[in-house]
Structure formats: structure tokens, C-alpha cells
């Protein structure tokens, strides 16, 4: 795994835990609303301008902060893209220091995720559920020739994660795209694939702060709380619990 960022303290990235967050290089998607373009766009250009943290840098930091932090959130980019099976040892070392591990994923790497789960090296998984099956490529911007492969992998991840002890599916809501119909179609698809209701689902409002991948997103309005609440009511039949994050 190639680590390009470390946030030393986060009270929001790992639910109900005090955590640090590490940011991994690269992503196979190009969501226009992505708030981490430096990890996605620059990744396509190479690693020349980025600070890279070694495994040792991170472990030394974690060793010092053991008393103050509960967990490590591993995010990106898409952290599983650059994850190698040799990184299982890195995860083992993090766990041996007493930390919980959360992984944020776009669902494209179910085999890697399965391996991490089978070794007991993750405690919480957050899956970005971006759109209905039919509309997924419009948001994630993978090519139509790659569509069925990407969808198959995301469906596999939905199945794996929905059986995991602690997880959430979450959607960044764009008002121009996530109509009521679209959101219901997305949840119908996810629950059909999982074979059960979503245990925990979060609707996150789109925000314009910071850099975004696509300049077209400058026209997109920020998502208001009332709209998130309306969607939360609509998706309740498909979820055991629904949160909104404004
Ligand atoms: S999947 Fe996540 S990291 Fe990748 S482009 Fe989309 S929002 Fe950004």
C-alpha cells in the first residue's frame, strides 16, 4: 500500500472512536465530487510530487499515540488498489499495537477485502454506494467497456460486507443526480444483492469546500439537510438504521 497522507487526529472518520487517518495513493474511479483529487488525479501522473510515508513512519507514530487513539482509518483514494498481500503484515503490526482498523472502500477489490477479513485484520468497513446499478458508471466514471466487471466486483463487495460484523454503506448525495427514484433504485439493488436490509446506511451531503475532481461540480448545489431527511425517510424500508451527515 502506498501511503501519501496522515491525519494525526480525527473524531469523525471512525464512528464513535478517536482515530488517525491514513490516505493511500490512487483510485480506479473518477467521481467528479471527490474531495481528494490530489490522491486520484496526481496518482495518474505518478508519485513525483507526493510525500510518501513508509510503514515504519506510520508504526512509529502509532507506537507514540497508543494512549490517545483507539483506531486507524485507512482511506484514500481507494486504499485497496495499491494494497498488496504483503501489507497484511503491516495490518498485523497495527493490530498488535492494540488499534482497531477501519477500511473505506469503493468496493472494487473484493478479493483483497476477503483476505483482510479472513485474517481478522479489520474491525469496521465503510462502502461507498454511489448509484443504482444502471447509473453507476455515470458517477464513478469508469468506462462502459469496464462496466460489467466493475459492477460484478461491487456486488461481490456488497455481499461480503453485508455479512461483516460492523459496517456502513454510505452515499454522497448530489441533488442533480440522486433523485428520489434513483436513491430507491440504488437501495433496492443493494438489498437484493445482499439478500437483506442494509444494517447501517448514511446519506452524506455534497459540499463544495476544497478541491474537487471535476470543474462541472462547481455548478452542483450543496445538498441541504431537508433533502437528506426526505431521502432518509424514503430508504427506511431498506435499512435497519439510517443516518444523515450534513
Ligand atoms: S472512489 Fe472515492 S477516492 Fe475514488 S474518485 Fe471516487 S470519491 Fe474519489
Does ligand 1 lie within 6 Å of residue 34's CB atom? yes
Q: What is the pLDDT of residues 163-178, one digit of tens each?
A: 999 999 999 999 999 9
Q: Identify the residue whose C-alpha is closest to ligand 1 atom 3.
A: 77
The boundaries of the domain holding residue 155 are 3-245
Ligand 1, closest atom to CA 78? 3
Q: What is the pLDDT of residues 61-104, one digit of tens each?
A: 999 999 999 999 999 999 999 999 999 999 999 999 999 999 99
Does ligand 1 lie within 6 Å of residue 172's CB atom? no
Phi, psi of 237 (to 5 degrees): -60, -15
Q: What is the reported pTM?
A: 0.95
Spatial contact of 243 and 200, defined as CB atoms under 8 Å apart = yes
Residue 44: what pLDDT?
67
Q: What is the CATH number of the domain that holds 39?
A: 3.20.20.70
Ligand 1, closest atom to CA 36? 8
Q: Is 227 exposed, middle or buried (0-12, 13-18, 19+ CB in 10 A)?
A: middle
Q: Identify the residue whose C-alpha is closest to ligand 1 atom 7.
A: 34
Q: Identify the residue whose C-alpha is closest to ligand 1 atom 8.
A: 34
Q: How far apart are the first and last CA of the chain?
A: 31
Ligand 1, closest atom to CA 27? 4
Residue 46 in grid coordinates: 505518478
Please give the tally of structural domains in the chain. 1
Amino acid at each position: 500500500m502506498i501511503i501519501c497522507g496522515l491525519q494525526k487526529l480525527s473524531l469523525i472518520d471512525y464512528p464513535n472512536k478517536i482515530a488517525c487517518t491514513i490516505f493511500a495513493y490512487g483510485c480506479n474511479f473518477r467521481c467528479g465530487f471527490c474531495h481528494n483529487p490530489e490522491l486520484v488525479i496526481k496518482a495518474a501522473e505518478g508519485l513525483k510530487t507526493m510525500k510518501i510515508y513508509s510503514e515504519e513512519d506510520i508504526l512509529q507514530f502509532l507506537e507514540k499515540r497508543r494512549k490517545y487513539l483507539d483506531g486507524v482509518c485507512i482511506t484514500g483514494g481507494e486504499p485497496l488498489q495499491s494494497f498488496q498481500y504483503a501489507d497484511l503484515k503491516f495490518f498485523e503490526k497495527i493490530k498488535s499495537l492494540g488499534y482497531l482498523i477501519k477500511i473505506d472502500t469503493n468496493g472494487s477489490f473484493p478479493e483483497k477485502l476477503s483476505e483482510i477479513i479472513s485474517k481478522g485484520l479489520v474491525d469496521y468497513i465503510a462502502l461507498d454506494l454511489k448509484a443504482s446499478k444502471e447509473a453507476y458508471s455515470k458517477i464513478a466514471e469508469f468506462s462502459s467497456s469496464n462496466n460489467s466487471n466493475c459492477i460484478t466486483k461491487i456486488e461481490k463487495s456488497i455481499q461480503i460486507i453485508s455479512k461483516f460484523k460492523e459496517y456502513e454503506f454510505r452515499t454522497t448525495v448530489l441533488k442533480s443526480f440522486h433523485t428520489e427514484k434513483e436513491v430507491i433504485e440504488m437501495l433496492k439493488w443493494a438489498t437484493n444483492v445482499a439478500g437483506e436490509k442494509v444494517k447501517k446506511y448514511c446519506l452524506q451531503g455534497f459540499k463544495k469546500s476544497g478541491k474537487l475532481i471535476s470543474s462541472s461540480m462547481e455548478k452542483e448545489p450543496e445538498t441541504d439537510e431537508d433533502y437528506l431527511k426526505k431521502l432518509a425517510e424514503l430508504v427506511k424500508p431498506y435499512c435497519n438504521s439510517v443516518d444523515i451527515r450534513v
